[in-house]
């Protein structure tokens, strides 16, 4: 078993952070600027989960390369597919409101964490869990503040357009 913190593990932490950050940027654009329901946390979690699954695939495949009749990623692929169906069941669209996307994305990341633990990638699993908790909590408040600012900007435009259309004495 490898030491808990080696250079390659720190690089992987950086990859996970970058993936979450880039997903967050995309989600912020979608939720604040484009006014879409899937927002900052959802995009950050999906990006983080995809990165985690890819890293686990690379690490595990290289560890087991050359073993006959053993493909550990078949198990992972089955889990990913199954969690995708489970996550789809969590998403609800009712009365022009979309709910459950972040929960579904979090569930997907959680599956990746479980796979990472199963393959002995403990430090990566722990770091991803901590990063996911930050996305769930910190980005929630950031997303709400940005949405508030976006709503305030829209209200200001509405007030200005009403003033321009009012008859002048």
Q: pLDDT tens for residues 44-85? A: 888 898 888 888 888 877 777 777 666 767 777 887 787 777
Q: Is the pLDDT of residue 154 over 90?
A: no
Angstrom distance (rounded) from CA 90 to CA 117: 24
Kindly report the pTM of this predicted structure.
0.62
With cut-offs at 50, 70 and 90, classify the pLDDT of residue 127.
Answer: very high
Res. 125: pLDDT tops 70: yes
Most confident range, picked from 16-30, 64-78, 90-104, 146-160: 16-30
pLDDT at 99: 78
Lowest-confidence segment of 32-36, 105-109, 131-135, 150-154 by average pLDDT: 32-36
% of residues, the chain, pLDDT over 70: 82
Average pLDDT over residues 145-165: 74
- HSE at residue 118, side-chain half, CA atoms within 13 A, is 15
Phi, psi of 97, deg, nearest 5: -125, 135
Q: Residues 69, 53: contact at Cβ < 8 Å?
A: no
1 pLDDT higher than 80:
no
């Amino acid at each position: 078993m490898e030491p808990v913190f080696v250079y390659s593990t720190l690089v992987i932490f950086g990859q996970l952070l970058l993936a979450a950050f880039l997903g967050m940027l995309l989600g912020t654009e979608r939720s604040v600027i484009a006014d879409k329901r899937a927002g900052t946390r959802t995009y950050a979690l999906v990006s983080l989960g995809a990165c985690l699954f890819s890293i686990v695939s690379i690490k595990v495949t290289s560890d087991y390369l050359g073993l006959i009749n053993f493909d550990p990623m078949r198990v992972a692929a089955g889990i990913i597919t199954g969690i995708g169906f489970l996550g789809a069941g969590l998403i609800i669209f009712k009365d022009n409101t979309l709910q459950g996307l972040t929960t579904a994305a979090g569930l997907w990341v959680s599956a990746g964490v479980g796979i990472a633990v199963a393959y002995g990638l403990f430090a990566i699993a722990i770091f991803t869990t901590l990063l996911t908790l930050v996305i769930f909590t910190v980005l929630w408040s950031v997303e709400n503040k940005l949405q508030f600012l976006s709503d305030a900007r829209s209200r200001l435009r509405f007030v200005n357009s009403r003033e321009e259309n009012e008859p002048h004495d």
